[in-house]
Each structure stands twice: as C-alpha cells, then as structure tokens.
C-alpha cells in the first residue's frame, strides 16, 4: 500500500471513529458545586442558555460535584444551577470567548428550588485552568478601535508580542509559517503557501479574510498550547464569525478616504491623488425562532489614485551610451526606465527618480453563516466566504502589473452533547490563489516572434550597477487545503479528557513564465556586452501539489485540588510526501532530486531519487506537552502558570512548489559569466537560446535538491508566568516565554561559481540551484508583560511590553522564500553557514503596544444633550519599538552572496541622521576586493547577516465616534479615524548596498497621517 493511501484510509477511519481538531473555536467552562458547608453536591442540573439563539445545553454534576461544558459557542449565556432542597442559582450575561478556559466554584443556599438567586456573571480574567496565553479582542474593540480599511488585522498592532508584514503574521520569535490563521477554527490563509491574511503580493485590502461586519471576536493563542492544537509552532490567530439570533439585525456602512484629507508623504513634494471607498452591509436573524439562524455580509472596496515610486535609473549619459553601444538595449531601457528627476551627476551612472504612477484596486467580499439547533444538546453550523481582489499598478512607472486574486472558504461543524460527554466534528475547505501578469511579458523579440518555449522570445531584463530593475513574469500561485477533524471530551472524576485526530491535505500549485535576466558587473562590461551571468526562465506549466498529513492527540486537564490543575497532553503527526499532479497531461511536470549532496566542497551529489519522491515520508513526530496552573488563594485572584511542550508543523508546500519542471530540466537555469563567454552569448539572450544550449549539453540538470531526510520542523517551548487580578475588571501578567526551533529548513545555493576563478566546483554537472535540508535551528527568549482592563465604567484598555531576542540563520521561518520571511541570499559560504547566526525576520528587541476605548458619560436625561454631547467614544492604538534588523550587502553579479567588511564597529551609526539623512557611517565599512576574473568579491565579508539595526519607530492611531439613536432599534454610528494621527516621521531603513552612491542614507519613510471617515446604520 502506498504511504499516502494508507494515511488517507487511516484518516477516514479515525474521522468516523474517534478523532480531534486543529484549532479551538469554542469555550470550555468547568465548575464545582457545593453547599454552604463545603460539601460536594452531585446530581446538580446545570443549564447554559445562549442569549442570542436560546440554544440550551444541560449537564449534571458528577459524584465529585464537578461539571464541564465543552465546545460552547462564544457568546453571552444565562447559567442556571438547580437541585431540589436548594435555591436556584441564575447568572446572567455570562460571556465566554472562543478558546477560553474558565473554572468557577458555585455555592448553593438551602431553600426551595423555586427561590432564585440572580446575579450578573462575568468570566474571570485570571486563567486557573491551563498554561495557554490567550488575548481576545471583543466585538466592542472591533467596532470602536481605529482600523485602517476596516481590516481586523490592524488590531494586532496593539499586541507587543505580534509583528506582521506582507503575507506573514509572526509571534514567539518564529517566522510567519509558525502562526496558524483560522476562521471558525478551519484553515483560512489567503496565501496557499503561507499562513497570513494577505494574498501573495499583499494586494487584498479591506475585507480581506473576513468582513468586519461578520467578525464576532478575534483571539490570539500562544504559549504552551494544548495538544489539540495542530500545525502550529508559535500560536494561532482565530476569527470567530457572527451568527444570526432570534432578532433580525442588520447594517449598512460606507468608509471613505481621500488624498485631500491626508498629510503629504514626507519624501514627496506633492500629495498623489487617491480616492478610497468601502461599502457594504449585513443581515442576520431567525429562519425558525429558537431553531435556525442565518447571517450574511457583503463588503466592496474601490480605490483609484496614484502611488509614489522611487527608483535608481540610468543617467542620460549612461542611457545614450548603452543604446549607442548595443542598440538592442533600447527596447528594454525605453520600456522600463524613466529619466531621473532629482539632482544627479551628469557624468555619473545612476540618477534618482521620484514620481507617481496610476494604481487601482477593487475587491468584493461575501460571507454567510447558517446555524441550526438540531436538538437541545447539538448544533450544526455551516459557513462560507468568497473574496475577489484585483489590482492594477506599475513597477518603475513604466511596467504595468495586474494581480488577480481568489479565495473561497467553507466549513461545516457539528457539536453533539450528552450529560457527561461531548463531541465535535468539523470539515474545512480553503482555496486561495493569486496571478501576477506583468506588462513586460507582452514584449517579445521584434525580429523573431517564433517561440520554442512558451515565453521563449520575451525581451531580456538588464540587471546590475544598482539599477532598479523590472523583471517581467506571469506568475500563478494557488491551491486548496482540506481538513477533516473530530474530537471527543469526557469528564471522569477529576480528569477532563479530550482526544481525537485530524486529516489534512495542504495544497498549492504554480504556473510561471518569466523574462530572461542578464546581469552585468560594471559599466565597462555593460557597454562591451559582456554579461557576468544570465537567468533563463524555462518556466513551469500548470500543476498542483499537496501534502497529506494525519494527526492524533490526547490531553487531560487533571484537577488535583481546587488550587492546582495539571495539563498533560501528547500529539502525534504523520506527514506524507508531496503529491504532484499536472493540470494538463500534454505538459508533463515532474519533481526530480538527487539524494542530497555527498561532497559539499566539490558538489558531488547522491544518486537520483525516484521521480516525485524528493524526500522520505516523515512519521516520527511525537509532541508531549505539560502545564500547570496553581491558584494559591483558591479564589482565582492570583495564579502561577507554567509548562513546556513540543509542537510540530508540517513541511511547508512552498519548499516543494518551486521545484517541479520539465523532466531533467529546472524551471530556472543560471549561466555563469564564463559559461556565457564560452557559448558566445550576448544580449539579447532569450529563453529559447538558453534552452537550446541546455538541450545541446545533454546533461540531467536540476534547479533544486533536497536532502532525503528533510523533515518537519518542531519547537521546544517553555513558559512561566504569574497572573494577578488587580480589580475584578483588571488583570496583570508577567511571564517568560522561550523556545528552541529544531530541524528548521535551511536554504543554500549549491555549485555556485568560485569567487576567484569564476568556475563551478562541479564542471561535469554545471548547474546551480537551491539546496534544502533540516539543519537550521532557532532560539528565542522573551519577557512579556500585559495589563488589561475589561470594559467597565466606560473605559477599557490593553497595555503590553515585550523584551525579546530571536536568532536563526536565514530568517527563522519554516517555509520557502516565497513566503517572505525566509532569505535565499543569507548564506555567504555554503560550508560555513553556522557563522550566519542572526536575528530572525521581524525581530524587535523592545516593543510597547496597547489600545484603549473610552466612552463619555451620557450627560443626564436630557435627550438633546445626550444625543449631541453624550457617549462619544475616544479610542486609539499605540505602538513603539526599537529598530528592525538591516542586512548590508555588496554586489556579487552572477556569484555568491557577498557582504562588506565592518572595520569600525563602534562608529557604524551616525547620531545626526535625522538632520543629515545619513544613518550609517560609510567610513565604518569597506568593500571586499573584487576578483578581476570572476568579477565577484574574493571572499565573504565580515559583516553578518542582518547585523545592523534600523531606526526605531512609534505611532499613534486615534478614533473618535458616536452612536446616534434614530429609533428604538435603529442607530447611526459616525467615526473619524486618523492613522499616524500625530504625523510623526517614522524613517525607513537605510540604503544597505555598499556599492550604491547613497549607501547608508535613509530615503524613505513609513507613511504620513491618513484620515478615514466612516458611517454605519444598524438596525
């Protein structure tokens, strides 16, 4: 039996028999019931009624007086506790959030069951159940905090332990692939090879993953996660969507931004025109009261305007010299490079261009959710969403780029309960894709339009000399992920058991056509048409690739005493080999590899691996987890929590999706300068030309090689913290969180040309490419502090401070370089990669972040006064941090990654950079001498990867809003939001190429103030 077939059969069996889930979207509520003397009360009837849907769940306390509600949908409940001979206890407005674990003790008074003791109940802020760290954003925070483009991910700016950029959301010192993003507990990443909320290229805005109208709650879960959490190394961000209730409710909204309202960007002389409109609404209510409910939302996004662009372009002197020397250059130069419009040296090589180019963006997002109460203790939920972002903009003002995105998501969940046990079944589907189409791919050889390859006569791009280059391509990335999950929970005495499994198929796919790229080492070589390297795009015909996985878990929350709970868990995950499927049998696509590298100095490879089996299956992944929560006072006022655990994540499909190509050929082939000279190749050198040369060599060629023992990465985490209830609505936590990542992917280039001779170590197989193995490790330590106040007395706030340090070798991400947090140019020396230890991507030493919502008093009972002046909300998000890491580089055209030497460590930074713009001291660095033969630096530089830090930054976003009562059940909300409200100039990172004449200078900022108006009618 094939391994993947066995996995599928086992997965189906355990799904139907006894299994578990990947992420947690429901709450768990534990309780004990005693009488006034402290004697336990078995057989107590405990009822939870959801206040929105009237869904009723009934449990009985056991012989120890214990009861447990598992898989409770998030929301507000009415809790009723009844036992003959005792007064009935009723607790109203008892709110529970997704992934929340709560334990409460209840004391019943002697009396008649018809006598009721009614209180307003709130879940305690102190977690006395698990060592899991949880931060949630309520519906009020979602509605009132200033969120740019109504994007819920702006909330994450108020968490000091989270950073984000591009397609990645990072936490706990891991790259973006370590964070799992889910909606209602099922896979929801907008990038099939990443784990964030952004499409590849980051062009989906506004609604993105979930319309703000449909967001019920946002949770961040990290620390020592219970064993039921799968496929994550750092944590989980989950969005719980809104559901319909017994009352019809809906909304209409419009959101507006315009350039006239915004401040001028600090590096521009004028404000580019920009108009942004966002609009939509929602509707939800009962199909059958107390039985069936529906909720849906639509959100549209339209943006038109211009974007600021900065580029290094040829001076008129160089431009004229290039065309005079090689007339074939003209087609590319005229199509790509504008003339410089900033002061420049007339005899120089590079000038600066700052200008604007048209930009358009549209997006339509729909989401729907259907809830059915099948029986008093069982609920069926069906959800789906659709997103269609499209963008049109320019690269270097001359090369138009069109991006087309898709995301379709669906999930089905069924919760069934009994007095002492509960089960949950969930199935999820998530498809996401993006397609980039560059204008350059429409420009072909004017003398010979006949192509052997698709894209075989695309005009070559010209690279080198620190010019800003446009490199054209058609690039499709997309695929579907399926998950099927099942779990059970059972209370046995003091043990709360959960067990289950998950089967997943994580998919992606590619199609790629790209322009060839010709690199030159100097102006002299450029004018003489002597390339130092060429990158030929053989391309990838359409295919899909998916990775099957199967996981099991068991966990026990053991309540040893009212003061101490121990969390024990074990999960096992099996990861199968990548499964490759061409989308058209006429265009075969295969995944070839050698069995690693036997001699890393001469680059002698192992034997060829079986086709489409570059690595071995990975079945040895056991992740134990242990935690404790000790409540010394027994009153949930203080708790000491801690634990340790091992968490695995699947091998990311981006590592494999780059490899498939034609049999015996890489999809990208790199020629060295010496190889081009030997072949007599000069510009224009087309993809067809390179393909013909490769075919004539009759050599089995690869662009990617895997070590057969490339396995899933895992993290060993440790946590120790103290939580203290300052007031019933305020809690403080201080904690240590650290981890060590093991078996992380390491990416290096194999068989690159020698720095001195310009020749490849292995001339018999003269190709170069990526080499993947599991040699990398990561290390992270942090001190995390939080102070949170739940909304009371018209005020709520969160305040975080984190000191952290993360180290790795190529970024600390468990994914391929297309995901953004993995560098493919980090390693200077293939065999001395351990010297490359450096900050992980997104590493910030100090971060302070927070948010607040304050509502003015109602101002008495005068309706006019209350309507005009009362109950205005003032809210904000603040974030300040030290600088990001910066990688200083040296040009190495067609050769190995290179960095300069640091010759003055004490004076690398200049103190007066805010007035001069010069941040790095050029005198503190020295370029490594260049070989006249290879035209590359003769050795690696002493500067480490990301060894420097950019300037720090701080930002304040403010919101001001008010709800106007139009009718009893109709309200109109008006808001104005200001992002970078104080218009503080946060400087970007400096130019980091030592060969650039502006090396060390800061020429960019992180944006000026933007103003957003928002109106929302709700009923």
Q: Are 500 and 669 spatial neighbours (Cβ–Cβ below 8 Å)? A: no
Q: Pseudo-torsion of CA 316, 317, 320, 323, nearest 10°?
A: -110
Q: What pTM does this model have?
A: 0.90
Got the DSSP string for 733-747? Answer: EEEEEEEEEEEEEEE
Q: What are phi and psi of 843, to 5 degrees?
A: -65, 125
User: 723-739 pLDDT, tens per residue?
Assistant: 999 998 999 999 999 99
- The closest alpha carbon to 175, from 655, 769, 622, belongs to 655
Q: What pLDDT does 10 receive?
A: 36
Which residues have C-beta within 8 Å of that of residue 929, sequence separation ≥ 6? 937, 938
CA distance 91 to 905: 64
User: Which residues, listed in sequence order, are joined to residue 422 by a DSSP beta bridge?
Assistant: 417, 489
Q: Is the pLDDT of residue 449 over 90?
A: no
User: 196-218 pLDDT, tens per residue?
Assistant: 888 988 888 766 689 999 999 99
3-state secondary structure at position 916: helix
CA distance 260 to 307: 15
DSSP structure class, residue 85:
T
pLDDT interval class at 16 (50, 70, 90): very low
Q: Are 481 and 426 spatial neighbours (Cβ–Cβ below 8 Å)? A: no
CB atoms within 10 A of CB 442: 12
Q: What pLDDT does 19 receive?
A: 37
**Mean of pLDDT values over 671-683:** 95
Structure tokens at 343: 């002061």
Structure tokens at 97: 């959030």
Which residues have C-beta within 8 Å of that of residue 2, sequence separation ≥ 6? none
Domains of the chain: 3-126 (2.60.40.1120), 137-1018 (2.40.170.20)
Q: 121 to each of 41, 106, 118, 124, 744, how far by Cα in Å?
A: 21, 12, 9, 9, 46
- Ordered strands of the 66-72 beta sheet: 66-72, 27-35, 101-108
Q: Are 506 and 467 spatial neighbours (Cβ–Cβ below 8 Å)? A: no
Q: What pLDDT does 112 receive?
A: 67
Q: What pLDDT does 118 receive?
A: 61
- Kind of pairing between the strands at 461-463 and 517-519: parallel
Structure tokens at 523: 């102006």
User: 882-909 pLDDT, tens per residue?
Assistant: 999 999 999 999 899 999 999 999 999 9
pLDDT interval class at 38 (50, 70, 90): confident
User: 366-393 pLDDT, tens per residue?
Assistant: 999 999 999 888 999 999 999 999 999 9
DSSP structure class, residue 905:
G
pLDDT interval class at 90 (50, 70, 90): confident
Q: Is the pLDDT of residue 25 over 80?
A: no
Q: Are 698 and 470 spatial neighbours (Cβ–Cβ below 8 Å)? A: no
Cα torsion 415, 417, 420, 423: sign = negative
CA distance 206 to 276: 10
Least confident of 196-210, 303-317, 933-947: 196-210
What is the percent of the chain with per-residue pLDDT over 90, rounded to a whole number? 73
User: 756-770 pLDDT, tens per residue?
Assistant: 999 999 999 999 999
Cα torsion 255, 258, 263, 267: sign = positive
- Kind of pairing between the strands at 350-375 and 970-979: unpaired
Burial class (CB in 10 A: 0-12, 13-18, 19+), 616: middle
Structure tokens at 49: 């009624």
- The closest alpha carbon to 427, from 186, 681, 672, 140, belongs to 186
Q: Is the pLDDT of residue 12 over 60?
A: no
Name the helix (H) or strand (E) containing 502.
strand 495-514
- The closest alpha carbon to 839, from 824, 828, 823, 820, belongs to 823
Least confident of 37-41, 440-444, 646-650: 37-41
Q: Which residue has the higher pLDDT, 28 or 397?
A: 28
**Mean of pLDDT values over 978-1004:** 95
Structure tokens at 1010: 């933007």
Which residues have C-beta within 8 Å of that of residue 172, sequence separation ≥ 6? 161, 178, 222, 233, 234, 235, 717, 737, 739, 780, 782
Q: Is the pLDDT of residue 15 over 60?
A: no
3-state secondary structure at position 316: helix
CA distance 364 to 408: 12
CA count, 13 A, side-chain hemisphere, 821? 34
Q: Are 489 and 68 spatial neighbours (Cβ–Cβ below 8 Å)? A: yes
The residue whose two tokens read 């054209």 is 472
Q: What pLDDT does 589 receive?
A: 92
Q: 947 to each of 194, 835, 871, how far by Cα in Å?
A: 26, 12, 50
CA distance 564 to 680: 77
Q: What pLDDT does 207 receive?
A: 62
CA distance 1011 to 847: 25
Mapping DSSP onto H, E and C, the string for 814-878 reads: CCCHHHCCCCCCCCCCCCCHHHHCEECCCCCCEEEEEEEEEECCCCCCCHHHHHHCCCEEEEEEE
CA distance 728 to 708: 56
Name the helix (H) or strand (E) containing 693.
helix 687-697
The whole-chain average pLDDT of the chain stands at: 91
Q: 630 to each of 253, 642, 667, how far by Cα in Å?
A: 47, 9, 57
Q: Which residue has the higher pLDDT, 164 or 603?
A: 603
Q: Which residue has the higher pLDDT, 1014 or 867?
A: 1014
- 504 prior amide bond cis, ω within 30: no
Which residues have C-beta within 8 Å of that of residue 589, sequence separation ≥ 6? 540, 541, 543, 580, 582, 660, 661, 662
């Amino acid at each position: 039996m094939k391994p993947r077939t066995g996995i599928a059969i086992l997965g189906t069996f355990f799904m139907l028999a006894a299994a578990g889930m990947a992420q947690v979207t429901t709450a768990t509520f534990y309780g004990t019931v005693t009488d006034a003397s402290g004697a336990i009360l078995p057989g107590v009837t405990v009822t939870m009624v959801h206040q929105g849907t009237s869904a009723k769940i009934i449990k009985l306390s056991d012989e120890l007086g214990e009861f447990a509600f598992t898989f409770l949908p998030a929301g507000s409940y009415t809790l009723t506790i009844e036992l003959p001979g005792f007064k009935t206890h009723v607790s109203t407005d008892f709110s529970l959030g997704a992934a929340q674990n709560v334990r409460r003790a209840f004391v019943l008074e002697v009396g008649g069951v018809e006598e009721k003791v009614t209180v307003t109940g709130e879940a305690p802020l102190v977690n006395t159940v698990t060592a899991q760290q949880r931060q949630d954003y309520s519906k009020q925070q979602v509605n009132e905090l200033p969120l740019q483009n109504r994007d819920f991910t702006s909330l994450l700016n108020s968490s000091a332990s989270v950073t984000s950029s591009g397609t990645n959301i990072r936490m706990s010192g891991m790259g973006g692939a370590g964070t799992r993003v889910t909606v209602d507990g099922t896979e929801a990443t907008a990038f099939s090879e990443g784990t964030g909320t952004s499409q590849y290229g980051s062009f989906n805005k506004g609604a993105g993953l979930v319309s703000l109208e449909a967001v019920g709650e946002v949770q961040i879960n990290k620390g020592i996660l219970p064993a039921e959490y799968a496929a994550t190394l750092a944590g989980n961000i989950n969005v719980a969507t809104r559901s319909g209730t017994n009352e019809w409710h809906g909304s209409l909204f419009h959101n507006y931004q315009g350039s006239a309202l915004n401040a001028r960007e600090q590096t521009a002389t004028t404000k580019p025109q920009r108009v942004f409109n966002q609009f939509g609404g929602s509707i939800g209510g009962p199909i059958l009261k107390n039985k069936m409910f529906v909720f849906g939302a639509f959100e549209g996004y339209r943006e038109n305007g211009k974007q600021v662009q900065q580029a290094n372009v040829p001076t008129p002197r160089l431009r004229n010299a290039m065309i005079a020397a090689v007339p074939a250059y003209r087609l590319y130069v005229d199509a790509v490079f504008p003339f410089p419009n900033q002061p420049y040296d007339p005899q120089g090589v590079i000038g600066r261009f700052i200008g604007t180019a048209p930009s358009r963006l549209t997006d339509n997002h729909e989401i729907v959710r259907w809830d059915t109460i099948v029986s008093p203790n069982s609920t069926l939920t069906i959800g789906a969403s659709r997103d269609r972002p499209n963008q049109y903009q320019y690269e270097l003002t001359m090369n138009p780029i069109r991006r087309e995105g898709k995301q379709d998501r669906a999930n089905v969940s069924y919760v069934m309960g009994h007095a002492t046990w509960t089960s949950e079944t969930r199935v999820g589907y998530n498809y996401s894709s993006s397609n980039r189409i560059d204008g350059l791919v429409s420009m072909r050889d004017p003398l010979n339009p006949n192509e052997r390859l698709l894209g075989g006569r695309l005009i070559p791009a010209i690279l080198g000399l620190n010019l800003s280059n446009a490199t054209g391509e058609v690039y499709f990335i997309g695929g579907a992920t399926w998950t099927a999950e099942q779990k059970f929970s059972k209370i046995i005495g003091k043990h709360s058991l959960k067990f289950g499994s998950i089967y997943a198929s994580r998919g992606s796919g590619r199609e790629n056509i790209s322009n060839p790229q010709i690199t030159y080492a100097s102006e002299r070589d450029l004018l003489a048409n002597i390339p130092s390297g060429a990158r030929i795009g053989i391309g990838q015909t359409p295919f899909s690739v998916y990775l099957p996985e199967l996981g099991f878990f068991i966990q026990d929350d053991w309540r040893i005493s009212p003061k101490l709970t121990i969390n024990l868990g074990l999960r096992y995950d099996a990861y199968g080999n990548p499964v490759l499927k061409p989308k058209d049998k006429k265009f075969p696509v295969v995944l070839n590899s050698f069995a690693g590298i036997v001699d890393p100095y001469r680059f002698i490879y192992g034997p060829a691996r079986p086709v489409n089996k570059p690595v071995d299956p990975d079945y040895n992944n056991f992740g134990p987890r242990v935690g404790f929560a000790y409540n010394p006072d027994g009153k949930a006022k203080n708790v000491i929590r801690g634990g340790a655990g091992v968490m695995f994540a699947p091998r990311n499909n981006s590592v494999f999706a780059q490899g498939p190509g034609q049999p015996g050929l890489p999809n990208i082939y790199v020629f060295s300068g010496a190889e081009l000279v030997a072949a007599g190749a000069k510009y224009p050198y087309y993809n067809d030309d390179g393909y013909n040369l490769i075919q004539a060599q009759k050599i089995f060629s690869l662009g990617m090689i895997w070590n057969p023992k490339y396995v899933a990465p895992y993290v060993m985490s440790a946590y120790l913290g103290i939580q203290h209830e300052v007031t019933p609505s305020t809690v403080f936590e201080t904690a240590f969180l650290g981890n060590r990542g093991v078996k992380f992917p390491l990416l290096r280039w194999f068989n690159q040309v020698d720095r001195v001779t310009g020749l490849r170590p292995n001339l018999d197989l003269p190709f170069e490419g990526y080499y993947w193995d599991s040699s990398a490790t990561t290390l992270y330590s942090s001190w995390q502090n939080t102070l949170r106040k739940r909304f009371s007395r018209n005020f709520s706030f969160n305040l975080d401070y984190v000191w952290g340090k993360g180290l790795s070798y190529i970024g600390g991400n468990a994914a391929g370089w297309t995901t953004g947090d993995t560098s493919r140019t980090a390693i200077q020396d293939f065999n001395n990669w351990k010297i490359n230890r450096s900050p992980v991507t997104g590493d910030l030493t100090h971060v302070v972040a927070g948010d607040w919502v304050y509502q003015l008093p109602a101002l008495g009972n005068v309706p006019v006064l209350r309507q005009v002046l009362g109950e205005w909300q003032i809210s904000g998000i603040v974030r300040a941090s030290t600088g990001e890491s910066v990688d200083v580089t040296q040009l190495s055209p067609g050769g190995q990654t290179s960095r300069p030497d640091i010759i003055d460590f004490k004076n690398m930074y200049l103190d007066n950079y805010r007035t001069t713009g010069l941040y790095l001291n050029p005198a503190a660095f020295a370029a490594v001498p260049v070989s006249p033969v290879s035209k590359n630096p003769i050795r690696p530089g002493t500067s480490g990867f990301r060894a420097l830090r950019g300037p720090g930054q701080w930002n304040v976003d403010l919101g001001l809003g008010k709800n106007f009562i139009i009718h009893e059940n109709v309200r109109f909300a008006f808001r104005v939001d200001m992002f970078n409200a104080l218009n503080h100039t946060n400087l970007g990172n400096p130019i980091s190429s030592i060969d650039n004449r502006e090396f060390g200078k800061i020429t960019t900022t992180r944006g000026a103030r933007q103003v957003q108006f928002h109106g929302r009618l709700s009923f």
